[in-house]
Amino acid sequence: MATEACVTKTPQGLGFFERYLTLWVVLCIGLGIVLGRVAPGVATTLDGWTIDAAGAPVVSIPIAIALFFMMFPIMLKIDFTEVLRAGRNAKPVTLTLVVNWLIKPFTMFGLAYLFLGIVFQGFIGPEATDLVKMPLGLDLPVGATHGEGTVVLVDGVRMLEIPLWRSYLAGCILLGIAPCTAMVLVWGFLARGNDGHTLIMVAINSLTMLFLYGPLGGLLLGVGRLPIPWEALLLSISIYVALPLVAGFVVRKAVVGAKGEDWFQSRFLPMLTPITIVALLATLILLFSFKGDTILARPLTILWIAVPLFVQTVLVFGLTYALARTIGLSYRDAAPSALIGASNHFEVAIATAVMLFGLSSGAALATVVGVLIEVPLMLWLVRICLRTERWFGAPAESTTAEVR
């Protein structure tokens, strides 16, 4: 599953749900589209339960609850004491940080702008628009402009009308600045990588996101001329990263202290699996119930969004893998470094897109496309790692895990 152990000391191979995650996502897309046709008021009603600021909806309460339960188990599994050991092998850690925070966000912006704003803009529709939430703290009258958006009144609520391709661009940006998906330790394990390095980098990335996700998001969304103030982006990080991070730390410490590490890993964490599955899939159903008409009217929409995401993933993987070999890393450090750089923390991206732009926005749809292509693409990259293992010298010990 997507939200399975982002950090665990005993990574396992893909289980039944994880192996067929793409199938479940496709089924949820279909169910969401059907729901949108049969009961169009359901998602609209749920999205209407909001916390407003300056007359604009900022937080959808039902979605915020669902997305918290997507994030909380990930943060719960982080053992922050492992971060202190990262300095013992500085080269792979430095490489991963440089790729994740100095290269990857900007290549994602450039590729998304190239494909969505230039190559595919004619297919998306140069005049097609999207309705997104008013930025937090912005109080403009109907008809006013902000960035590339125009304030309009929709069912008594002020919204911003922006070019549709720019909304898709925003979703891609949010994926590009959210490194390390929850399943990255599984990918590293299947590739016979250094599980300790993967563990450390997931923990470091989670902490680094608290400081860099907001500033990078504000910078790149601003360059893209998208009307997002810093306050709203930082608020989303507080709700969807800081809050579950603190909650996870407190709960983990309490449970481990009372029951021990073994009970925590073998009994407590598996109990959360059904909750996180339901939260993820329920969010996807709502997203696609809102976007069903758009998908049916433009069946190639998913493809236009998937192309820059695919190119970005392969590019970052290849660049990191090549740099790892150049600086003399072993295969066991090179493989997880490349896979960490290629993967995205799409739970955070979905949460931020929904909060900043709204459940029905093109930005939210773009982040969900990231979920759709993540599993098959990452499994393909794992195969590439295994087939090129000898490039780095003696092969690592074999694993019993099977990649299908």
Name the DSSP letter for residue 344: B
- Report the pLDDT averaged over residues 13-41: 73
Q: Identify whether the C-beta of residue 325 lies closer than 8 Å to the C-beta of residue 368.
A: no
pLDDT for the residue 235: 61
For the ranges 35-39, 106-110, 315-319, the lowest mean pLDDT is seen at 35-39
CATH number, domain 16-392, options 1.20.1530.20, 1.10.10.10, 3.40.50.2300, 3.40.190.10: 1.20.1530.20
User: pLDDT-based confidence at 314, cuts 50/70/90?
Assistant: very high
Q: Identify whether the C-beta of residue 349 lies closer than 8 Å to the C-beta of residue 171.
A: yes
Residue 323: phi, psi to the nearest 5?
A: -65, -35
Burial (CB < 10 A; 0-12, 13-18, 19+), residue 152, is: middle
Place of tokens 């290849």: 318
Q: Report the DSSP pairing between strands 56-60 and 129-133.
A: unpaired
pLDDT for the residue 44: 67
pLDDT for the residue 403: 46
pLDDT for the residue 88: 66
Share of the chain above pLDDT 90, in %: 22
Cα 340 to Cα 26, 243, 395: the distances in Å are 25, 24, 20
Place of tokens 């019993």: 400
Q: Which one, of 170, 181, 172, 239, lies nearest residue 210 by Cα?
A: 239
Token pair of 283, please? 């969010």
- Report the pLDDT averaged over residues 63-69: 73
| Per-residue pLDDT at 18 exceeds 60 | no
Residue 223 CA to residue 259 CA, distance in Å, equals 49
Look at residue 159 and give its three-state secondary structure: strand
Task: Find the Cα–Cα–Cα–Cα dihedral 193, 195, 201, 206, rounded to 10°.
Answer: 130
pLDDT tens, position by position, 168-178: 999 999 999 98
User: pLDDT-based confidence at 233, cuts 50/70/90?
Assistant: low
Residue 151 CA to residue 144 CA, distance in Å, equals 5
Would you list the domain boundaries of the chain? 16-392
Mean pLDDT: which of 5-9, 10-14, 69-73, 224-228 is highest?
Answer: 69-73
| Per-residue pLDDT at 199 exceeds 80 | no
pLDDT for the residue 10: 47
Name the DSSP letter for residue 101: I
Residue with more model confidence, 36 or 165: 165
- For CA atoms 135, 141, 147, 149, give the dihedral sign: positive
- Report the pLDDT averaged over residues 4-15: 46
Q: Identify whether the C-beta of residue 350 lies closer than 8 Å to the C-beta of residue 367.
A: yes
pLDDT for the residue 21: 64
Mean pLDDT of the chain: 78
User: pLDDT-based confidence at 325, cuts 50/70/90?
Assistant: very high
